Structure 1
């Protein structure tokens, strides 16, 4: 078969058929992550389930890393849209914060790929030469930080709260708890209950007045 014929046999990457095939490959990768609870699968498994030759598969994604990056980009992108929609329905800063946390917890509990996408985004550095877009999750943190600042302005939170640190702590708690309790009873608890406990930690803290005094007097040396 000539090079011209081979080229014509493969649809252009921007054609509807090509886009549908690419979406099918990404969905298959997402399915493997959901089924196995990890990214432990091989590209040949993707090609077999999609009924594609390895050559066709690598036409769309040059390697597994490229496929995973595309999947994670899509997952995080979808999550950001959901968070923005949830915030748009809020009338107060507290409600906005609650809706952000509820959306994060809800998505993470039922969609394991989101957990892996968040872990990859927040904790793992991009590989050399990767087209990895740093800050895919930044929009969620930006929204959370903004509404924490708004809550401070409204007198709901102490004025010296580090909103950025608090936003990262809340997001980190959502991710960690999803990983730590995925196979335990926590997963079966109502989302509203989990969200309320997160917000109690943010709004009230966990220390007594004696504990707050210990925090104020601690010099960081451990002595």
Structure 2
């Protein structure tokens, strides 16, 4: 029987909101499992159990494990790209822009976070589905940083002959390699020191000036 006008029912907006909240709950549960396992070595049944729902209900929101993991990393990477672009748009100088960009990456890449797992390729059984999406987002961040290094050349902060693309790749790569080296970027003073350490190498290098090695 068709529902009569005025009959109680769920408003379409409320249904959408509830669906979004359920997706978020599923993604949070899966993220927790990934952080605990150090990768994507979990089963869909474990996620549904943590959410207090059946596997069938979970598959209503995500077609399979790959889709779930991809959604988690897409959200993390899209958030980082947005933060990076916002910082660059507001920065008054190339130095401020590069500092803000690297700080945004450091803030996003916390030890054991989903984004750190992505950078360190801890994706095991779903990497063929997820890595192309991560690569696309990382290329965007690298392109933004490369543009700011070119801007820094104009402002006299970087040598004209510097390969900006190579430097941008090296900076972003530093955050990934720290996970392998056991030097994850943590919050607080450690993160700030790491950021400024990276930028010190970028702007000042590691070689001594001509003649200094003879002093």
TM-score tier (shorter): 0.7 to 0.9
| Conservation of the 8 A alpha-carbon contact between 1:93 and 1:151 | yes
Match of 2:149 in 1: 148
Partner Cα separation in structure 1 for residue 38 and residue 121 of structure 2: 14
1:136 aligns with 2:119: no
Q: Which has the higher contact order (CA 8 A, sep 6+)?
A: 2
Partner Cα separation in structure 1 for residue 88 and residue 180 of structure 2: 25
SS at match of 2:137: coil
What does 1:31-180 correspond to in 2, within 5 Å? 31-109=32-110, 112-120=113-121, 127=128, 133=133, 134-180=135-181
Which 4+ runs in 1 deviate beyond 4 A? Answer: none
SS at match of 1:15: helix
1:204 aligns with 2:204: yes
Q: How many residues align?
A: 192
| Conservation of the 8 A alpha-carbon contact between 2:120 and 2:176 | yes
Partner Cα separation in structure 1 for residue 52 and residue 183 of structure 2: 32
Q: Evaluate the alpha carbon distance shift between residue 47 and residue 126 of structure 1 in structure 2; reply closer, same or farther with a 3 A threshold.
A: closer
Q: Evaluate the alpha carbon distance shift between residue 83 and residue 178 of structure 1 in structure 2; reply closer, same or farther with a 3 A threshold.
A: farther
| Conservation of the 8 A alpha-carbon contact between 2:120 and 2:179 | no
SS at match of 1:137: helix
Partner Cα separation in structure 1 for residue 40 and residue 128 of structure 2: 16
The runs of 5 or more residues in structure 1 that have no matched partner are 1-10, 211-223
TM (norm. structure 2) is 0.77
| Conservation of the 8 A alpha-carbon contact between 1:77 and 1:136 | yes
Match of 2:7 in 1: none
| Conservation of the 8 A alpha-carbon contact between 2:158 and 2:203 | yes
Partner Cα separation in structure 2 for residue 21 and residue 158 of structure 1: 51
